[in-house]
């Protein structure tokens, strides 16, 4: 029984560490193993050591790719789409350089295990309410709002919006309506957590510089 419980505890511990890797990779896009170790140890009594991190880096690559959509590159955990896109890894690192890390409390942080999770802030709610007035179908308004929110997760959020509008067949009644939608999207983009800011929103970093 002692061996059984030891194995159970080890498996439970490893699952917790994997959850942190997934949550932090979803939040940051690219995160070094040392940062994962640091944050995990800040928030948990059962500490992870260098040996365990090295084991994950060397032995759990296939598991991370197949079950967590995460790859390992140069001791970094990387959201898979970044590596698939080719040169984005180096671009992401350059964009992150010198910026602090947004580290939410444990309960909030682990919500990022779900790749679809995002903070529903007032800027998102305002956009959604505006879209509900544009579209008679509530489901379309929610779909478009979510697509725009995901678009805002890039630091190039305002680029290529016309392609999204074309894809979603967004038509405007007049220039005033178009201007208001763009204002709401800019507000959302400035208050959305993005990889290139290590999880901070553009507005949060801007305030921090003042």
**Three-state secondary structure call for residue 39:** helix
pLDDT of residue 110: 98
pLDDT at 18: 94
Check if the beta carbon of residue 60 is closer than 8 Å to that of residue 77.
no
pLDDT of residue 85: 65
Residue 145 CA: distances (Å) to CA of 42, 131, 191: 35, 7, 14
Residue 159 pLDDT: 81
Q: What is the spatial distance between Cα 51 and Cα 38, in angstroms, rounded to a whole number?
A: 14
Residues in the chain predicted with pLDDT less than 50, given as ranges, are 1-5, 7-9, 210
SS3 199: coil
Quickly tell me which residue has 């678009």 as its tokens: 151
pLDDT tens per residue, range 3-50: 444 544 467 788 999 999 999 999 999 999 999 999 999 999 999 999
pLDDT at 8: 40
CB atoms within 10 A of CB 125: 12
- The per-residue DSSP string of 69-101 comes to SEEEETTEEEEHHHHHTSTHHHHHHHHHTT---
Structure-block tokens of residue 122: 């007032």
């Amino acid at each position: 029984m002692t061996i059984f419980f030891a194995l159970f505890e080890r498996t439970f511990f490893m699952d917790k560490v994997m959850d942190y890797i997934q949550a932090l990779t979803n939040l940051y896009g690219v995160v070094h193993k040392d940062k994962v170790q640091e944050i995990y140890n800040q928030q948990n009594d059962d500490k992870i050591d260098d040996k365990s991190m090295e084991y994950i880096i060397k032995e759990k690559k296939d598991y991370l790719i197949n079950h967590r959509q995460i790859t390992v590159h140069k001791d970094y955990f990387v959201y898979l789409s970044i590596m698939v896109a080719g040169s984005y890894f180096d671009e992401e690192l350059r964009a992150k350089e010198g910026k602090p890390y947004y580290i939410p409390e444990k309960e909030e942080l682990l919500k990022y295990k779900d790749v679809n999770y995002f903070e529903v802030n007032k800027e998102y709610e305002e956009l959604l309410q505006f879209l509900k007035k544009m579209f008679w179908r509530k489901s379309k308004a929610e779909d478009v709002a979510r697509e725009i929110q995901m678009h805002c997760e890039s630091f190039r959020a305002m680029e290529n919006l016309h392609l999204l509008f074309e894809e979603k067949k967004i038509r405007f009644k007049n220039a005033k309506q178009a201007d208001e939608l763009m204002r709401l999207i800019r507000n959302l983009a400035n208050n959305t957590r993005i990889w290139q800011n290590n999880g901070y929103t553009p507005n949060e970093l801007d305030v921090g510089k003042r």
